[in-house]
DNA sequence: CGAAAATTTGACATGACTCAACTGGAGTGG
DNA sequence: CCACTCCAGTTGAGTCATGTCAAATTTTCG
């Protein structure tokens, strides 16, 4: 159940038996169904979620009432609203399962306990964040320099398997254009 | 010279004399003039930069040859291209001083040495990244939901002092619109 | 002071959005 | 297992926010 996470951690730091045990004590395993929300706007985000299996996303609801996906997470990624988590303030985001998913959640206080007992994990989480932040920097670069069509073509050639797994309208909002426009790009009518 | 950094670190973890000494041994202090580049596209980013005094930015040059600012950093912020730094791959970004600035640089290998000797700093850098990543999540939210005019008004009421310090064309590119359009927003012609 | 850089302005162009109508497929319940 | 609904995707027409370009003006700074 926890092996996906321990395997992932092992790529960055090595834990002994005792440490692995302490880790487990501070985690919660959960299964969520497609469309289920792990966080809703207005709530404070008390968890970081590791995706063992499945696909989840962060999204917001804009003033027109439309959902806009701001981030996807698949196997071996962490999802959270880090600002809400960090400051204990209400979030503006939703976190939702796109597919039926298996997750490992770590609660903020449990995380502090864990990190106090297994300081090595500070390194693991630092490296995870470094990678995530790097990805976010690149994403902003693409949002700034590419047209809607370029973003679609670039994304779908880079992650063809991924594109299969999400509805078009979610991908459209992640790439920051309308579902209708996506449809026209795909039909070559643009 | 290093006190701005040690003060900043002290907000997150406490270091003793020896640890502070090891920290200093692994840092480089540098002064840069306005417009000087710390990193250029094509180079690998080997450093993370802490801003003691001044103002710097990350930017890219798009296919039309225009600079687009992707990130600003002021006093007590770290700047880097984390993906390039993490993977030792060439960067697509420039890092440049917007004002004459005083920086503290940490080189990647020195950082590894330092972290091996002073593991407490893993926590410091994790928290710094958590905050930066959270800020980046919020920024994407605003880029997605607000119009150009709303982004300008929101940013300039949130950070009025900051707006004073950067040329309009840089802020326009950071908020993802043209300098001409910024001019029209300011003149109320839109 | 003079040159270069930044900002402003106006005319015009366009990429992408909105809205509304239509099509097709996936579930669901009788 | 059919019929019905509902949600996702498609299409076209019209519109608009923002971009582009070029010229004029102002500011900065060596």
Note the pLDDT of residue A27. Answer: 97
Q: Has residue A181 got a pLDDT over 80?
A: yes
Q: Please give the Cα distance from A135 to A133 (Å, whole number).
A: 5
- Residue A60 in contact with residue A93, Cβ under 8 Å? yes
Q: Has residue A190 got a pLDDT over 90?
A: no
Contact yes or no for B68 and A145 at CB 8 A:
yes
pLDDT digits (tens, 9 = 90+) for B69-97: 999 999 999 999 999 999 999 999 999 99
Q: Has residue A179 got a pLDDT over 90?
A: yes
pLDDT digits (tens, 9 = 90+) for A13-63: 999 999 999 999 999 999 999 999 999 999 999 999 999 999 999 999 998
Coil, helix or strand at residue B37: strand
In chain A, the percentage of residues whose pLDDT exceeds 70 is 100
Q: Straight-line distance from CA A167 to C1' C28, in Å?
A: 21
Note the pLDDT of residue A132. Answer: 96
Confidence tier at B65 by pLDDT (50, 70, 90): confident
Note the pLDDT of residue A151. Answer: 97
CB pairs below 8 Å between A and B: how many? 124
Distances (CA, A) of A51 to A57, A99, A100, A161, B61: 11, 11, 11, 17, 36
Q: Has residue B47 got a pLDDT over 90?
A: yes
Note the pLDDT of residue B154. Answer: 97
Q: Which two tokens stand for residue A16?
A: 């002994």
Mean local confidence (pLDDT), B92-109: 97
Q: Give the nearest nucleotide to A147, CA to C1'.
A: C15
Note the pLDDT of residue A94. Answer: 96
Q: Please give the Cα distance from B115 to A123 (Å, whole number).
A: 9
Q: If you search the block for the tokens 């697509």, which residue do you land on?
A: B92
Query: Which residues of A fall below an 8 Å CB-CB distance to B?
Result: 58, 60, 62-63, 68, 70-71, 81-87, 92-93, 115, 119-120, 122-123, 125-127, 129-141, 143-145, 173, 176
Name the pairing type of β-strands A94-97 and A37-39.
antiparallel
Note the pLDDT of residue B89. Answer: 97
Coil, helix or strand at residue A126: helix
Give the rounded distance of the alpha carbon of A32 from its chain centre.
15
Confidence tier at A64 by pLDDT (50, 70, 90): confident
Q: Please give the Cα distance from B80 to B95 (Å, whole number).
A: 8
Mean local confidence (pLDDT), A135-143: 96
Does the pTM exceed 0.85? yes
Note the pLDDT of residue A60. Answer: 96
Q: Has residue B150 got a pLDDT over 80?
A: yes
Q: Give the nearest nucleotide to A178, CA to C1'.
A: C17
pLDDT digits (tens, 9 = 90+) for A99-126: 999 999 999 999 999 999 999 999 999 9
Percent helix, percent strand, percent coil in chain A, to nearest 5: 50, 25, 30
Q: Has residue B53 got a pLDDT over 80?
A: yes
- State the nearest Cα–Cα gap between B100 and chain A, in angstroms: 24
Q: Give the nearest partner residue to B129 out of A58, A130, A140, using CB atoms.
A: A130
CB-based contacts of B188, cutoff 8 Å, min separation 6: none
Contact yes or no for B83 and A123 at CB 8 A:
no
* CA nearest to B59 within chain A: A141
- Residue B37 in contact with residue B59, Cβ under 8 Å? no
Q: Has residue B147 got a pLDDT over 80?
A: yes
Contact yes or no for A126 and B131 at CB 8 A:
no
Note the pLDDT of residue A46. Answer: 98
Q: Has residue B63 got a pLDDT over 90?
A: no
* CA nearest to A87 within chain B: B131
């Amino acid at each position: 159940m926890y092996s996906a996470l321990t395997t992932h951690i092992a790529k960055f730091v090595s834990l002994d038996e005792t440490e692995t045990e302490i880790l487990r004590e501070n985690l919660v395993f959960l299964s969520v169904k497609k469309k289920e929300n792990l966080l809703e706007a207005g709530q404070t985000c008390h968890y970081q979620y590791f995706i063992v299996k499945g696909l989840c996303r962060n999204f917001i609801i804009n003033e027109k009432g439309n959902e806009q996906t701001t981030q996807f997470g698949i196997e071996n990624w962490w999802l959270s609203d880090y600002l809400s988590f960090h400051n204990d303030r209400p979030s503006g985001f939703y976190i939702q399962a796109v597919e039926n998913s298996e997750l490992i959640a770590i609660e903020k206080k449990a995380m502090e306990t864990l990190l106090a007992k297994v300081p090595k994990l500070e390194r693991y989480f630092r490296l995870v964040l470094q990678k995530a932040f790097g990805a976010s920097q690149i994403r902003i670069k693409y949002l700034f320099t590419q047209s809607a069509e370029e973003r679609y073509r670039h994304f779908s050639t880079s992650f063809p398997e991924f594109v299969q797994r999400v509805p078009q309208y979610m991908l459209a909002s992640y790439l920051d254009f309308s579902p209708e426009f996506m449809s026209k790009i795909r039909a070559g009518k643009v």
